[in-house]
Amino acid sequence: MSSRLLSPLLALAIVLLAWSLFLHVFRVSPLIGKSPLAVAQYLFGMPASGRNRAALLGALGVTLVHAASGFLLGLVLGLGSAILFVLAPTLERSLLPLATILRSIPLVAMTPLIVLVFGRGPAAVAVIGGLIVYFPTLVNSVMGLRAAPRASAELVRACGGGDLAVLRKVALPGALPAIMASMRLSAPAALVGALLAEWLATGDGIGYRMQRDITSFRAADLWSALVLVTLCSLLLYGVVAAVETAVIRRFGVPERG
């Protein structure tokens, strides 16, 4: 098994251990802090466990759709912006400072404005998640595209190729490790963006369910939702890491970092 697939499993074991130690060391009341065993009991050991799982998985499915829309939007816009910046450095000097300023504004503070402009539907969810994915994709992609081997680029130009040919035949293949790395890091982040959108905008998905659990003091359901979100985040990371390894091996590009 690939080491990149083992790392999420190791992270899961560390999270479970830290979870149990936290509850024990700080003497958290069982009414508030649910242990891994209590969560397992809620999901699998009660007459109502089937209904509990169905409700949580249904809400999680909505959240995954939200996360996918934000991930795809941020990935497409981030990679497209990186290509434009590499092809037109003047455009980068004009727009990158603006992007940096926007990145410095907390997303929680921007969410009400996003909701005001795009409403509380799928568009707002995609924008909120897309903003989280956009900036790491942009930065990593620009660095990857600019790291193209100079000799290969000069060879393409010597054969009559222009900037687009250099981009297609040299820069993009060489930037695959950086692009895939940004995808690996952005997939769990897109899930966080979907949760944020559900908390503050849409009123559905597992993010809204968690908020409702807090107000109605349903600790077991809240902790179960946290477990599902954590497992899903680790799974997304592992899947993208496996795809990254396969793509890089397929194109024969050495991995970075």
The CATH number of the domain holding residue 181 is 1.10.3720.10
Q: How far is CA 113 from each of CA 18, 95, 123, rounded to the nearest angstrom? A: 37, 21, 13
Q: Could you read off the pLDDT of 77-90 as tens digits, one per residue? A: 999 999 999 888 88
Structural domain includes residue 257: no
Q: How many domains does the chain have?
A: 1
- 256 found inside a domain: no
The chain-wide mean pLDDT, for the chain, equals 87
Q: Judge whether 108 lies within some domain.
A: yes
Residue at 204 is within a domain:
yes
Tokens (6 digits) for 198: 């559900």
What pLDDT does 2 receive?
55
pLDDT score of 257:
45
103 is a domain residue: yes
- pLDDT value at 131 more than 60: yes
Is-contact 2 245, C-beta < 8 A? Answer: yes
Residue 22 lies in a domain: no
Domain with 157, as residue range(s), is 3-17+35-251
Within a domain: residue 244? yes
pLDDT of 111 > 90? The answer is no
Q: What percent of the chain has pLDDT over 70?
A: 95
User: Could you tell me what percent of the chain has a pLDDT over 90?
Assistant: 45
Residue 241 lies in a domain: yes
